[in-house]
Amino acid sequence: MNCSDFLKELTDYLDGAIDERTKTELDEHLAWCHNCFVVCNTTQKTIEIYRDSEVYELPEDLRTRLRTAIVEKCEAHKRDKGSGPVKS
Amino acid sequence: MENIQSKVGEPISEELTLVRAAKAGDVQAFEELVKRYDRNVFRIAQHITQNREDAEDVVQDAFLKAYSNLGQFQEQSKFYTWLVRIAVNEALMKLRRRRPERTVYLDEDVQTEEDSMPREVADWSPNPEQQYTQAELRDILSKTIQGLPTGFRAVFVLRDVEGLSTEETAQALELSIPAVKSRLLRARLQLRERLNKYFKRQINGDSIR
């Protein structure tokens, strides 16, 4: 396995979506290839930082305002249609 | 390596009860579904549109569309996956209206100049995010992800921020599974490359800030 083979498998490796045999090969590659080790670690960290950092959180006051507007629109839709959502 | 965990793992049966009540016209039951997923829909919308006002509109439009089309929800997939599909479409429509000169399609196989091959391999500090305040970090992450093509952003936010599976992401974005995997890899690697300048380990006391 070379570095570009490793990169191709990186996403499945990080997601734990590979078979045992491929995982062993990737682990062996990581054990001696410092560059791939760093790329793997920093990519994992990239995912974790985005997942945990709450880049776009919905503030509580806006949340309440949006929910009120949604409920009003749904009620209006229900009145217009007579019964609620359109039946399939 | 630990699996990326799902943020949305509610018991299906309880949710189906709400969905069925809402289908029968119970707005209160639908409001419960809104409470469950409004934060997720807002995050997805803002990641795709990169605009706060557009994201607010998308939240309202997506939920209203979901409510008025609940009869078409077949209950074979999760309600959340179905809702995300509606939200993504609404967000893309906003984007197209705002930037008609740059038509946005998710199924374009974008080749960017800066593609996925790592160019700079630098190790990061042990907890790189702690070098910054919350506000600084949000600003860095938001600026960094803005530069990605829309299709990459959408796949990354659904898979890695919202925790949808590859299959659910493919369903929500109407892409094939190999297309989702290829975009996800490129999105992750490009973000990693761009974050290097903020997070790489400082050598000999050189400050990067």
Torsions phi, psi for B147 (to 5 deg): -75, -10
**Residue to test with chain A: of B79, B121, B140, B142, most A Cβ within 10 A:** B121
Please tell me whether residues B86 and B134 are part of one structural domain.
no
Please tell me whether residues B81 and B138 are part of one structural domain.
no
- Say what percent of chain B tops pLDDT 90: 63
For residue B200, what are the β-bridge partners?
A: B124
Alpha helices of B75-131 — where are they, by DSSP H?
A: 79-98
Torsion of CA B4, B8, B12, B14, to 10 degrees: 150
CATH of the domain at B44: 1.10.1740.10
Range of the domain at B142: 128-199
Number of compact structural domains in chain B:
2
Structural domain contains residue B122: no
Q: pLDDT tens, B33-76?
A: 999 999 999 999 999 999 999 999 999 999 999 999 999 998 88
Residues 6+ apart with CB under 8 A from B77: B168, B171
Q: Is B124 helix (H, G, I), strand (E, B) or coil?
A: strand
28-57 in chain A: CB under 8 A from chain B: 35, 38-39, 41-47, 49-51, 53-57
- B151 or B1: which leads in pLDDT: B151
CATH of the domain at B141: 1.10.10.10
Please tell me whether residues B89 and B140 are part of one structural domain.
no
Considering B98, B113, B148, which residue would you say is the last residue of a domain? B98
Q: Do B47 and A77 touch (CB under 8 A)?
A: no
Burial of B175 (0-12, 13-18, 19+ CB in 10 A): buried
Query: Whole-number mean pLDDT of chain B?
Result: 85
Structural domain contains residue B29: yes
Please tell me whether residues B86 and B138 are part of one structural domain.
no
Residues 6+ apart with CB under 8 A from B124: A41, A42, A45, B196, B199, B200, B201
- Please report the pLDDT score of residue B102 as a whole number: 60
First and final C-alpha spacing in chain A: 53
- Please report the pLDDT score of residue B108 as a whole number: 58
Taking the C-alpha atoms of residue B182 and residue B155, their distance in angstroms, rounded to an integer, is 10
- Please report the pLDDT score of residue B43 as a whole number: 95
Using the 8-state DSSP alphabet, how is residue B158 labeled?
Answer: I
Structural domain contains residue B151: yes
Taking the C-alpha atoms of residue B123 and residue B195, their distance in angstroms, rounded to an integer, is 11
Whether B187 contacts B146, CB under 8 Å: no
Q: What is the ipTM of this complex?
A: 0.87
Please tell me whether residues B80 and B18 are part of one structural domain.
yes
B6 pLDDT higher than 70: no
Structural domain contains residue B108: no
Mean pLDDT score, A40-61: 92
Please tell me whether residues B93 and B48 are part of one structural domain.
yes
Structural domain contains residue B134: yes
Q: pLDDT tens, B161-204?
A: 999 999 999 999 999 999 999 999 999 999 999 999 899 887 65
Structural domain contains residue B153: yes
Taking the C-alpha atoms of residue B37 and residue B82, their distance in angstroms, rounded to an integer, is 12
Structural domain contains residue B116: no
